[in-house]
């Protein structure tokens, strides 16, 4: 009997529930967690964590290995990708997502006799900028509640704002929603992230902020990329370009490189490299005029593009090219970007393992684990587990050190 004809397995793949896939597959085949892990390139503790729901499969590399290792029929996982490329279905939003009529409910409760001045909004702009910088170092976990309260403060000001100041309040609310979306995504709360991005996009359009409207679409493309959905990533990145004309060079460059990474994820090297060249030109031009970029693009420069180029090379399995770009980018990345250093260093460990440089991969992974744990970024953690699995599959003697270290922080 073909196990993939079993409805329980087919339903688990369709739901993108890899824990259920593992449990059902092992029940039908009698495989142990260790043997199943050998098929998909995961160590036994990782298989156990996925089955128990303690770890989610968000890495496209891990997803591909599962599909290949378990020989999941194309019609099952291709259908899943086709659904993912279509419109986002209606969401049942968690408590961390915005209320349906948040704007109307809060603004109607504010005493309209209160007047908002430009100095107050300038202060809130500076406060948001400081929180963004803080998140670069401490990660998103400590800031979620703070930023939700801060957004409510912004919304409370809307009832007393008039004319251009009212537009500024809506723009500021859009920026807060975008930041909350980013942090929700960083913590693996996909539903809340999508809801906040949608709200940010709506408010950006209301405020006439083309740069933020485009940025929200690029960041949704980033989420699609992180979920292994290359086609959706490309479509959203393209929408970021054509749906919001008049955006800055940096915002355009971000959208183009996101499309490039989507094509790389799909294995289309030609399209990926063509768009990477275009993005390089845009971002180089933007770097010459940083004053023309929106404030939230403070981090996005040629260093970040070099790192993103390395990510695209990883998807194309150009391991040595990926190592070169990631090494160069990390060498220029300031220390205050602790969260991103842990992320890109975990990617470098993965690329080194892919290139067959086991000792270097293990060394980078071991040095990265404490920071990845401290800033609480699930994506970095997944890359480190992927590195451990690759080292195990290659029979590297250093693999056990990485597995043991991950277990200590587990």
pLDDT per position as a tens digit, 129-151:
889 988 888 888 888 888 888 88
Q: Which of 60-64, 78-82, 301-305 has the lowest mean pLDDT?
A: 78-82
152 alpha carbon, distance to own chain's centre? 25
- The more confidently predicted of residues 252 and 101 is 252
Q: Are 405 and 168 in contact, with CB atoms under 8 Å apart?
A: no
Whether the per-residue pLDDT at 166 is higher than 60: the answer is yes
Task: Give the integer Cα–Cα distance in Å for 216 and 303.
Answer: 22
Domain count, the chain: 4
Express as a percent the part of the chain with pLDDT over 70: 88
Do 202 and 216 fall within a single domain? no
Express as a percent the part of the chain with pLDDT over 90: 36
What residues contact 264, with CB distance under 8 A and at least 6 apart? 230, 272, 311, 312, 313, 315, 316
Q: Are 63 and 228 in contact, with CB atoms under 8 Å apart?
A: yes
Structure tokens at 250: 């940096």
Task: Give the integer Cα–Cα distance in Å for 220 and 315.
Answer: 19
Q: Is residue 34 part of a domain?
A: yes
For the chain, give the longest Cα–Cα distance: 74
Q: Which of 23-27, 116-120, 364-368 has the lowest mean pLDDT?
A: 116-120
Q: What is the pLDDT of residue 102?
A: 43
- The more confidently predicted of residues 3 and 137 is 137
Q: What is the pLDDT of residue 105?
A: 39
Structure tokens at 30: 């009698």
- The highest-confidence range among 41-50, 242-251, 372-381, by mean pLDDT, is 242-251
Q: What angle do CA 341, 324, 259 make, to 5 degrees?
A: 75
Do 299 and 243 fall within a single domain? yes
Q: Is residue 325 part of a domain?
A: no
Q: Report the pLDDT averaged over residues 18-41.
A: 87
- The highest-confidence range among 8-17, 47-56, 329-338, by mean pLDDT, is 329-338
Do 102 and 202 fall within a single domain? yes
Q: What is the pLDDT of residue 123?
A: 85
- What rounded mean pLDDT belongs to the chain? 83
Do 153 and 213 fall within a single domain? no
Q: What is the pLDDT of residue 2?
A: 62
Task: Give the integer Cα–Cα distance in Å for 352 and 323.
Answer: 6
Q: Report the pLDDT averaged over residues 35-54.
A: 84
> Which residue is associated with the tokens 């908002």?
116
Q: What is the pLDDT of residue 83?
A: 37
Whether the per-residue pLDDT at 159 is higher than 80: the answer is no
The band of 113, judged by pLDDT with boundaries at 50, 70 and 90, is very low
> Which residue is associated with the tokens 């039908």?
28
Q: What is the CATH number of the domain that holds 50?
A: 1.10.260.40
Q: Which of 184, 207, 230 is a domain's end point? A: 207
Whether the per-residue pLDDT at 373 is higher than 50: the answer is yes
Q: Which of 104-108, 113-117, 330-334, 403-407 has the lowest mean pLDDT?
A: 104-108
Q: What is the pLDDT of residue 359?
A: 94
Q: Which of 101-105, 336-340, 402-406 has the lowest mean pLDDT?
A: 101-105
Do 365 and 309 fall within a single domain? no
Q: Is residue 89 part of a domain?
A: no
Q: Report the pLDDT averaged over residues 265-282.
A: 94
Range of the domain at 381: 334-410
- The highest-confidence range among 58-67, 94-103, 114-123, 147-156, by mean pLDDT, is 147-156
- The more confidently predicted of residues 38 and 352 is 352
Q: Report the pLDDT averaged over residues 379-400.
A: 87
Q: Is residue 68 part of a domain?
A: yes
Q: Which of 157, 192, 207 is a domain's end point? A: 207
Q: What is the pLDDT of residue 106?
A: 37
Give the other-Cβ count within 10 Å of 7's Cβ.
Answer: 8
Q: Is residue 328 part of a domain?
A: no
Structure tokens at 51: 């089955």
Do 242 and 293 fall within a single domain? yes
Q: Report the pLDDT averaged over residues 282-290.
A: 89
Whether the per-residue pLDDT at 381 is higher than 80: the answer is yes
Do 99 and 180 fall within a single domain? yes
Do 102 and 153 fall within a single domain? yes
Q: Which of 50, 83, 116 is a domain's end point? A: 83
The band of 376, judged by pLDDT with boundaries at 50, 70 and 90, is low
Do 241 and 307 fall within a single domain? yes
Residue among 300, 385, 383 nearest 337 (CA): 300
Whether the per-residue pLDDT at 110 is higher than 50: the answer is no
Q: Report the pLDDT averaged over residues 347-351.
A: 95
Q: Is residue 326 part of a domain?
A: no
Instruction: Identify the burial level of 163 via C-beta atoms within 10 angstroms of its C-beta, where 0-12 means exposed, 13-18 middle and 19 or more buried.
Output: exposed
Do 310 and 361 fall within a single domain? no
Q: Is residue 324 part of a domain?
A: no
């Amino acid at each position: 009997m073909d196990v993939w004809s079993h409805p329980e397995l087919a339903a688990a793949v369709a739901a993108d529930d890899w824990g259920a896939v593992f449990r059902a597959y092992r029940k039908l085949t009698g495989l142990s967690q260790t043997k199943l892990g050998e098929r998909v390139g995961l160590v036994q503790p990782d298989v156990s964590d996925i089955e128990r729901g303690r770890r989610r499969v968000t890495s496209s590399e891990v997803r591909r290995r599962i599909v290949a290792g378990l020989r999941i029929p194309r019609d099952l996982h291709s259908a899943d990708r086709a659904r993912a490329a279509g419109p986002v279905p209606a969401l049942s939003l968690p408590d961390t997502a915005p209320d349906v009529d948040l704007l109307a409910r809060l603004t109607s409760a504010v005493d309209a006799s209160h007047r908002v001045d430009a100095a107050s909004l300038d202060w809130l702009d500076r406060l948001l900028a400081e929180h963004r910088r803080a998140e670069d170092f401490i990660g998103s976990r400590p800031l979620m509640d703070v930023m939700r309260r801060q957004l409510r403060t912004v919304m409370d000001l809307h009832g007393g704002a008039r004319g251009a100041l009212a537009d500024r309040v809506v723009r500021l609310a859009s920026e807060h929603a975008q930041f909350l979306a980013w942090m929700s995504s960083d913590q693996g709360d996909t539903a809340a992230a999508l809801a906040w991005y949608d709200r940010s996009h709506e408010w950006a359009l209301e405020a006439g902020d083309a740069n933020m409207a485009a940025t929200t679409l690029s960041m949704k493309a980033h989420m699609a990329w992180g979920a292994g959905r290359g086609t959706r990533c490309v479509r959203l990145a393209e929408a970021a370009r054509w749906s919001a004309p008049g955006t800055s060079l940096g915002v355009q460059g971000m959208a183009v490189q996101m499309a490039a990474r989507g094509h790389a994820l799909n294995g289309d090297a030609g399209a990926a490299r063509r768009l990477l060249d275009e993005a390089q030109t845009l971002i180089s031009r933007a770097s010459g005029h940083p004053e023309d970029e929106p404030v939230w693009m403070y981090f996005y420069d040629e260093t970040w593009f070099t790192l993103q180029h390395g990510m695209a090379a990883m998807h194309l399995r150009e391991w040595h090219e990926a190592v070169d770009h990631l090494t160069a980018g990390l060498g220029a990345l300031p220390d205050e970007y602790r969260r991103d250093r842990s992320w890109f260093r975990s990617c470098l460990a993965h690329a080194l393992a892919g290139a067959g440089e086991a000792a270097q991969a293990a060394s980078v992974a071991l040095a990265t684990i404490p920071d990845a744990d401290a800033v609480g970024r699930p994506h970095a953690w997944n890359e480190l587990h992927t590195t451990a699995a690759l080292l195990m599959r290659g029979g590297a003697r250093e693999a056990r050190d990485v597995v043991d270290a991950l277990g200590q922080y587990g």
